[in-house]
Structure 1
């Protein structure tokens, strides 16, 4: 499959074979989330929902930051009468939170290659990903409470306790303190910590490992994980049972067994 590149103003979007690379590209603003960036990310995620050529999505940021959160300069345009601001603010919040839903709805596993600061909404983009890989200069900041807001923003109160436990999540959301790369690995916020300049290569290495699996297997695994987050054990088992039967009937199970046996016989 040939590589493809699409033109946007606040992000870059490339297909490198079966791997999609979405890069927040506002380095002069530490990749802060503008309205245009919201719309451009939404366009890419919507295109991926039924894209069978792109099988894994890697998410990263240009320059020294992953994503520093909402662009506060744009938010200041809502200054004025509270009654006038409320509908605009709600619309803005809904547009942004819908991106979190889109990250979970697309069938492709999402790998966040966190190369620098991931603050506010940027941290939430990482939390909504399936896997998080951190570079040595990465920092995670649930900064909402620091600017007078609730810590419950863009799924942070949903994802964070599931990743690091309720006690740590409560501390991070209530204090807004930063978590450096080493601590992020220790508490389970990220699964890998890389050396300088290695976060993207490691993300692609992991993506290629996923590509060795069947397309249906990857898709069903993500769907199962999404369902398990919300359902009890019996409901989760029902979804797992259905997925396993579908994978067997698709032929991918038998193909995988043959490949496994061939590798085993060569040893």
Structure 2
């Protein structure tokens, strides 16, 4: 199979959809076709009533090495020296990252190997992340004269400013345990358990009421960009609307009645 065939694999494991970046020979670098495929798969997951969570992983020894530099370099011979293609690439990448954030279902990265540049950005963008003990992370663009400016958006929203700047300015690899300590990861597990652990994460989340998860995920990302007083006003209004939802009525009633909730569908 060539890297151009079936560049994104999809498999449902119960209520969890596992999406696998499938360009192993190219270290799952993010070509335009692959980014477009991921966006389409996320849209499909959003519309599926049976999918309650998404796991994103990579085939082969890498999660993702970032943008497809060979594809980008090939467009230097365009009449505009590649400007239009580069703009399209960065726009498509941003749209893919935003699709993850805006998906009304959690997305969990299962990091099976290196995640560098936009690949590291992809991990940081996912709601949760599980990594293999030998996974490594970097934003190494500074080493090749291309600062990781778009990866820094997600990275700086996951780790401290000092940690983000260290990764961005030094461009060095960070091991899985250090990445978890910095806040980039939730769990580090043996390599042969990465996808299963992420799926287990997803199944636990899938057991929760769906509309409540949707409300909570959207509110989390919106309030994070607000000043403190505005965030409290916004989340208070979200809580009121959530309280009036049938899921909250059933969940609170079940808690008070000391019974298992029967979530409305």
Give the Cα separation in 1 of the matches to 2:189 and 2:123: 16
With over 3 angstroms needed to count, the CA separation of the structure-2 counterparts of 1:162 and 1:94, relative to structure 1, is closer
Q: Secondary structure at 1:70's aligned position in 2?
A: coil
Give the Cα separation in 1 of the matches to 2:78 and 2:251: 62
Give the Cα separation in 2 of the matches to 1:124 and 1:117: 12
State the match for 2:263 in structure 1: none
Residues 29-73 of structure 1: CA distance to partner in whole angstroms, max 9, x if unpaired?
111112221221121122234444322111111121111111222
With over 3 angstroms needed to count, the CA separation of the structure-2 counterparts of 1:61 and 1:259, relative to structure 1, is farther
Contact residue 36 and residue 96 of structure 2 kept, 8 A: no
State the match for 2:165 in structure 1: 170
Give the Cα separation in 1 of the matches to 2:116 and 2:254: 43
State the match for 1:12 in structure 2: 9
Contact residue 49 and residue 105 of structure 1 kept, 8 A: no
TM-score calculated relative to the size of structure 1 = 0.88
TM-score calculated relative to the size of structure 2 = 0.89
Residues 180-222 of structure 1: CA distance to partner in whole angstroms, max 9, x if unpaired?
1111122221111112311111111111111121101111111
State the match for 1:197 in structure 2: 192
1:147-226 equivalences in 2 (<5 Å): 147-153=144-150, 156-226=151-221
Which ranges in structure 1 are unaligned for 5 or more consecutive residues?
1-7
Q: Secondary structure at 1:66's aligned position in 2?
A: strand
State the match for 2:113 in structure 1: 116
Give the Cα separation in 1 of the matches to 2:27 and 2:78: 30
Contact residue 17 and residue 45 of structure 2 kept, 8 A: no
State the match for 1:3 in structure 2: none
CA deviation after TM superposition for structure 1 residue 82, in Å? 7.1
CA deviation after TM superposition for structure 1 residue 258, in Å? 4.7
Give the Cα separation in 2 of the matches to 1:186 and 1:143: 20
State the match for 2:92 in structure 1: 95
Which ranges in structure 2 are unaligned for 5 or more consecutive residues?
261-265
State the match for 1:69 in structure 2: 66
